[in-house]
A and B are shown apart, each in its own frame.
Chain A
């Protein structure tokens, strides 16, 4: 079974600075998908970024980018120019290509200080 680990329960960053959230996963599959979701206090999970394992190029969405290291099974999220609205719980998630189930990590609570 696949597992996802987020080793940082809490992180903080100053507004306008850059922060990196860590995620590692365990799988025996060669092809899969990885995601970062954001969950603000409203509880609604919002997709931040998605990465296909067969793509070597790291995904980027505006201020959000990932560092995908397939051999190391690492998938970190970098947030540049942090904004107050980025404060939320961030979840890393894994999905196999053979099914739709998302396996989530425990989450990292991000605080953005003004």
Chain B
């Protein structure tokens, strides 16, 4: 079974630029999560999708972050414009309705200069 795929693995941008991350969950997993992990901290949930609908985006900075999950499969997380404090690892995870265990992708390390 293929795991959660994410791209790119690394991204370096300057502040005020835009960036997008892509996630492909495990086949059949209805729930998809985006987490932000700042260096030295545990991951923090940004947004959760159930199929293509948003379940929880209470901790998403909506003035600069946006996410979508078209057709209930792949998802894209966008930051526009980026700030220095957005430097972090962005983790995508997915889970199925039976076990509800979250499986994580390898993450994208974003550096904002």
A: residues with CB less than 8 A from B are: 4, 37, 42-47, 50, 91, 93, 99-102, 104-107
In the complex, A42 Cα to B45 Cα: how many Å? 20
Question: Are the CB atoms of A99 and B106 closer together than 8 Å?
Answer: no
**Which residues of chain B are within 8 angstroms of A106 by Cβ–Cβ distance?**
40-42
- CB < 8 Å: which of B41, B44, B100 contacts A100? B100
Interfacial residues of chain B within 35-54, with CB under 8 A of chain A in the complex: 35, 40-45, 48
Instruction: Indicate which residue in A43, A45, A46 contacts B109 across the interface (CB closer than 8 Å).
Output: A43
A47 in contact with B101 (CB, 8 Å):
yes
Query: Cα distance A80–B60 when bound, in Å?
Result: 39
Which of chain B's residues have a CB closer than 8 A to the CB of A46?
Answer: 104
Q: Once the chains are docked, how many angstroms separate the CA of A43 from the CA of B45?
A: 16
Given contacts A100-B48, A100-B95, is CB(A44)–CB(B42) below 8 Å?
no
**Knowing A102-B102, A105-B42 touch, does A43 contact B48 (C-beta < 8 A)?**
no
Residues of chain A with a CB closer than 8 A to B89's CB: 43
Q: B34 CB to closest chain A CB, in angstroms?
A: 12
Closest to B4 in A: A44
A-facing residues in B1-47 (Cβ within 8 Å)? 31, 33, 35, 40-45
CA distance A99 to B33 in the complex (A): 12
Asked whether A91 lies within 8 Å of B42 as measured between CB atoms, the reply is: yes
Per the bound structure, the CA–CA distance linking A109 and B42 in Å amounts to 12
Question: For B44, what are the chain A residues with a Cβ–Cβ distance below 8 Å?
Answer: 104
User: Does B84 reach chain A (CB closer than 8 Å)?
Assistant: no
Closest Cβ neighbor of B50 among chain A residues = A100
Q: 13 additional contacts, CB 8 Å, given A37-B104, A91-B43? A: A42-B106, A43-B91, A43-B107, A45-B104, A46-B104, A47-B103, A100-B48, A100-B95, A102-B35, A104-B43, A106-B40, A106-B41, A107-B41
Smallest distance from the beta carbon of B98 to chain A beta carbons, Å?
A: 13
Does B93 interact with chain A (Cβ within 8 Å)?
Answer: yes
Residue in B41, B42, B106 whose beta carbon sits within 8 Å of that of A43 in the complex: B106
Closest to A101 in B: B45
If the complex has contacts A99-B56, A100-B31, are A45 and B91 also in contact, measured as CB distance less than 8 A? Answer: yes
